[in-house]
Structure formats: structure tokens, C-alpha cells
């Protein structure tokens, strides 16, 4: 059975989803954590539930959906996937973030 929980992050009030199974494997969908305390909230939940992240899946590459991707890839060494049509949007993310006054790494 799959379990789905969501977290609401960043100034855009974006929803990040965590989908897990009975083996404690989980997939993170649209990680929008911009601030350190938002990253902590998601990571604390993952650790508390003893989940094992398998991958990050993005529905699209708007800033509010990708803020947390790099931090999670670094922490868990997991793959990141999205539709290839979103690659141009992802490529412009740092410039777009700067334009809106966000520090995006």
C-alpha cells in the first residue's frame, strides 16, 4: 500500500509530496523547500519514519517546485527526474531566481 503525505513550502505555498511504500522506500515529488527550516522539516520526517529516498520526481521545473532538489540530491545521492521538455526551464532557474530575489543554488 502506498502512503502519501504533503508539505506546503516557500512563499508560493507549493505542495511537496512524499510517497512511500510498505518497504519504507519513498519518492519525493516537487521538493519546494527554499529555507533551511523547510529542508529540516522534510528531512526530519523522512528520518523519523525511517524512510529510504529512492528518487526525486518533478512535475515541472518552476522555481517553487525545484528549490529543494539540489539539497536532496546531495544529501541522499538519489536521481532526479522530470520530463525532458522542462529542461529549458530548469536551465534558466538560477537567472529566474535572481530576478525574483531568491538565492538559488
Domain boundaries, the chain: 3-99
CA dihedral 12, 47, 49, 83 (to 10 degrees): 50
pLDDT at 103: 79
pLDDT at 18: 99
pLDDT at 102: 86
Question: Topology of 3-99 in CATH?
Answer: Metallo-beta-lactamase; Chain A (3.60.15)
pLDDT tens, N- to C-terminus, the chain (105 residues): 999 999 999 999 999 999 999 999 999 999 999 999 999 999 999 999 999 999 999 999 999 999 999 999 999 999 999 999 999 999 999 899 898 888 776
String of DSSP letters for 15-70: EEEEEE-TTSEEEEES----SHHHHHHHHHHHHHTT-EEEEEE-S---HHHHTTHH
Amino acid at each position: 500500500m502506498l502512503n502519501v503525505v504533503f508539505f506546503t513550502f516557500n512563499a508560493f505555498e507549493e505542495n511537496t509530496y512524499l510517497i512511500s511504500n510498505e518497504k519504507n522506500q519513498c519518492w519525493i515529488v516537487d521538493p519546494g523547500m527554499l529555507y533551511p527550516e523547510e529542508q529540516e522539516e522534510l528531512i526530519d520526517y523522512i528520518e523519523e519514519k525511517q524512510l529510504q529516498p529512492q528518487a526525486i520526481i518533478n512535475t515541472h521545473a518552476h522555481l517553487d517546485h525545484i528549490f529543494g532538489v539540489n539539497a536532496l540530491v546531495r544529501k541522499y545521492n538519489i536521481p532526479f527526474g522530470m520530463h525532458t521538455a522542462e529542461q529549458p526551464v530548469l536551465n534558466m532557474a538560477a537567472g529566474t531566481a535572481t530576478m525574483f530575489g531568491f538565492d538559488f543554488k
